[in-house]
Structure 1
Amino acid sequence: MSVLPNISNNDNVNFEIILHSTGTDPDHQRLDRILALKKLPWSFNLVEQHELANLPGGDEGQPVMQIGRCFFVGSFVSIIALEQLKATPTFFPNGNCGMPLALAWWSSEFFRVLRDNQDDGLFKKYCTIISRQIIDGRHFLQGSLPGLADIHSYAPLWALKKHGRDMTILECDALLAPWYQRMANIGECRPKKINLDENNLLGKQSLFETNFPECDAIADKETRRWKDQGKLFLWRSPLVN
């Protein structure tokens, strides 16, 4: 059971999710794995960095998740919103909510430091931190099911590989390599690619439910008018990813 309040009537929620992203940073992969774990269909609007800046909240350079007229900037607040919209499967399989959420900062620093540092010794230390969590034979960091802790640990490794990092250390780790592959294999829903810009962003989207109590607790909701397309609602992640 989710440790956050579920604001949907049931788990058969019908809503469209669009991820606006450049597709290369750890935050994009966090959201990709998050949506895969929730088994939610979604669309991917691939944009260049300068195009992202033209979208609501995109000026911070983070991916933006759109649900109807609601926009969530960065993975942190998007995670909170999705857990409330669809409680199962949960991001917190052993009931521990605090530690996985706190890993957001560690995950971001992991990527930032190692992106600019080719020191294999440092990379191995980071990999060892993760592999030690599954040394008892568990498949995922919080037990038999994947959760947010796994996603935060997986995303920077994926991004480093995307940026050309030599992954031999990871591939030779008898614990980490199978875990990494299990994370890569999560989810059957792959995104459909669409093309949107700021001039056709909202289209005929209905005014989606905007009561996200946990999001409101960590980020102020902004209400905006967007060009001639009407109102939208925006939450920004409190962490820089």
Structure 2
Amino acid sequence: MPDIILHQYATSPFSEKIRLLLGAKDLSWCAVEIPPILPKPDLVALTGGYRRTPVMQIGADIYCDTALICEVLDRMAPLPPLYPPDQAAASSVMAAWFDSALFTASVTYTMQPAGVQAMLAHLTPDQIKAFVADRKAMRGDTNALRMPLPEADAMLHETFERLQEQFAAGVLHVAGPMLSVADFSLYHNIWFIRRATALAAILDAYPLVKEWYARMQAYGHGKVRVIPAEDALAEALHNDPLAHDTTIQPDSGFAAGDAVTVTPTDYAKDPVAGVLMTLSADVVTIRRQDPRAGAVNVHFPRQHYQVQAA
């Protein structure tokens, strides 16, 4: 089996979600540091245009979106399970909410002037301008990742208060008694808020949430080795895509081999073109060719991604 390669950057909260998961599962993996803003030519050679962070690569298979990456890693390394049978539904639904609604609140809260000053202090004025322009382009005409600050503040306080009460009642994890994917999805929100230094004081009223965070943080990042992007591209070029699910939903209007595009439905709506290989209730897989990466299978979750005829 080729190495697990995570295309990520150090300050990416969704990258931190997967880094911590790799640590919890005690996995060895390789890290490719990618730019936080466009252009990302080495990543795009693998994904065909998908620009969100992180992206996971295993040989010539490219996995987009942490919702799918978590499922793939859980199949590869089942312990500890991310979807315990007794709380699988609750874990998945809560993780999705933490990754969307709560993350929107976390971004809005963190990107107040005091938070921006702390988060972007390492950048030059020109780099800050480029970063802001890039994120504006990612959002497009939508208000994704933005809400009124009072609403964001209220959502965070209500969430942390309910978690504080749950932990006080002796429930050790977010979705129930067992560790699950929901814990990792909550974790990266708090990790992001804590990076805003002074604004992290919002957590002081919730000591049991902070204790839970410390327990999660102790998992670390596993066994990581940093490699250059060229090595990752060579891995794709010199491996064949893995055997894949050949399901095509009969009522989808598509057939295997159709030329399609796959596009996120919320933000960063950059379409990826390829040949349809899988269209199930859970996964979309397309095959694409790239001069640098060769033939690759690019995988997306079915939810929140639109499949259209190319």
TM-score, normalised with respect to structure 1? 0.80
Aligned letter for 1:71?
A: I
RMSD: 3.0
5+ residue gaps, structure 2 = 113-149, 248-277, 306-310
Identify the residue that residue 11 of structure 1 maps to in structure 2: none
CA distance in 2, matches of 1:83, 1:68: 18
| Match 2:105 to one of 113, 118, 135 | 113
Indicate the SS of the match to 1:76. helix
Greater alpha carbon shift after TM alignment, 135-144 vs 150-159: 135-144
C-alpha change, 1:106 and 1:66, in structure 2 (3 Å) is: same
Greater alpha carbon shift after TM alignment, 62-71 vs 141-150: 141-150
Percent of aligned pairs with the same amino acid: 20
Identify the residue that residue 282 of structure 2 maps to in structure 1: 218
Identify the residue that residue 9 of structure 1 maps to in structure 2: none
Identify the residue that residue 9 of structure 2 maps to in structure 1: 22
Instruction: Give 1:130 deviation, angstroms.
Output: 2.7
C-alpha change, 1:153 and 1:211, in structure 2 (3 Å) is: same
Identify the residue that residue 132 of structure 1 maps to in structure 2: 165
What is the aligned length?
228
C-alpha change, 1:181 and 1:171, in structure 2 (3 Å) is: farther
1:27-49 per-residue CA deviation (whole Å, 9 max, x = no partner) reads 21221122122211111111112
Instruction: Give 1:207 deviation, angstroms.
Output: 2.6
CA distance in 2, matches of 1:99, 1:144: 12
Identify the residue that residue 141 of structure 1 maps to in structure 2: 174
Instruction: Give 1:236 deviation, angstroms.
Output: 1.5
Indicate the SS of the match to 1:91. coil
Structure 1 or 2: more strand by fraction:
2
- Structure number with higher relative contact order (C-alpha < 8 Å, ≥ 6 residues apart): 1
Tell whether the 8 Å contact from 2:57 to 2:63 is kept in structure 1 after alignment: yes
Tell whether the 8 Å contact from 1:63 to 1:75 is kept in structure 2 after alignment: yes
Greater alpha carbon shift after TM alignment, 205-214 vs 141-150: 205-214
| Match 1:54 to one of 44, 62, 75 | 44
Identify the residue that residue 234 of structure 1 maps to in structure 2: 298
Greater alpha carbon shift after TM alignment, 24-33 vs 112-121: 112-121
1:147-186 per-residue CA deviation (whole Å, 9 max, x = no partner) reads 2111111111112223456122324422111101001111
1:87 aligns with 2:120: no
5+ residue gaps, structure 1 = 1-13
User: Residues 115-194 of structure 1: matches in 2 within 5 Å?
Assistant: 115-117=107-109, 119=150, 120-143=153-176, 145-164=178-197, 166-187=199-220, 189-194=222-227
Identify the residue that residue 62 of structure 2 maps to in structure 1: 71
CA distance in 2, matches of 1:210, 1:24: 34
C-alpha change, 1:197 and 1:141, in structure 2 (3 Å) is: same
CA distance in 2, matches of 1:213, 1:141: 35
Indicate the SS of the match to 2:235. coil
CA distance in 1, matches of 2:66, 2:107: 19
Indicate the SS of the match to 2:5. strand
Aligned letter for 2:228?
A: N
Larger Rg: 2
Structure 1 or 2: more helix by fraction:
2
